[in-house]
Amino acid sequence: MGRKRGNILFDLDGTLTDNQIGIFRCIRYALKELGVPLEETADLRWCVGPPLQISLTRLVGGDPALGKRALDLYRRRYQEAGIFENRLYDGIIESLESLQSSFDLYVATSKPTVYALQILRHFKINSLFKAIHGSELDGTNTDKGDLIGFVLNREKLTALTFMVGDREQDVIGAHKNKIEVVGVAWGFGTEEELRKAGASTVLHHPGELMAAFNKELQ
């Protein structure tokens, strides 16, 4: 018998793609339309990872109704331009292609599935994944723990399943579902954040993925 294949769930934003410019421009657009002041030098990196409506609600002062309006405005610009203000991280394609020899690959992103599919097709890497799962536009599965649980159940994944992501939500969500997690520090989170959340392995370049997972299979 051959060696049993493993499964890897990949986050999207900050893990496969660098979409910082698109996200930040859409946030600024939404707040400007609402007349909410935001300093030009404001650090918005913390907004990437948690469900977007939570981040936007915080930015508008905690008003949930205003946060929902901000999300609608964000999506207006995102659909028109922000979705493709984006790039693949160097080395991601090569790493994914190498991992396919031993693992089935999936996407598990808090981004709505409809947007995730557009992005992965745009970069022509959708075929590298056995399935692509995200949240729903109504907010279902924006929590990473809920999303990972949904993916595990839908795809019937059991042993040798890992999560790869760049934020504490990825680590916490993986642990909630009792699967292993590999943190990546090339995205929006830091090594300190990932380790504090409980990641025992943190990588700094996509080229390290294959070696890290070969080690997991030994």
Segments in the chain forming alpha helices (H): 20-34, 52-59, 64-80, 92-99, 113-122, 144-155, 168-176, 191-197, 209-217
- Bridge partners, 131 (sequence order): 106
* 23 pLDDT more than 80: yes
pLDDT of 120 reads 97
Local confidence band at 218 (pLDDT 50, 70, 90 cut-offs): low
pLDDT tens track for 86-118: 999 999 999 999 999 999 999 999 999 999 999
Q: What are 163-210's pLDDT values in tens digits?
A: 999 999 999 999 999 999 999 999 999 999 999 999 999 999 999 999
Residue 148 buriedness (CB in 10 A; 0-12 / 13-18 / 19+) = buried
Please give the Cα distance from 123 to 49 (Å, whole number).
21
* pLDDT average, residue stretch 16-30: 94
The two tokens of residue 34 are 């609402």
Q: pLDDT tens digits, residue range 135-157? A: 999 989 999 999 999 999 999 99
pLDDT (mean) for 39-64: 90
Name the residue among 142, 140, 189 with its Cα closest to residue 168.
189
Q: Is the pLDDT of residue 13 over 50?
A: yes
| Local structure of 188: helix, strand or coil | coil
Write down the pLDDT at residue 216.
73
pLDDT score, position 214: 84
Active site residue 11: yes
Q: What is the pLDDT of residues 61-91, one digit of tens each?
A: 999 999 999 999 999 999 999 999 999 999 9
Confidence grade of residue 1 (pLDDT, cut at 50, 70, 90): very low
The domains of the chain, with CATH numbers, are 6-18+87-217 (3.40.50.1000), 20-84 (1.10.150)
Under a CB-based contact definition with an 8 Å cutoff, are residues 129 and 106 in contact?
A: yes
Of 11, 143, 166, 170, which is the active-site residue? 11
In the predicted structure, residue 53 carries a pLDDT above the cut 80: yes
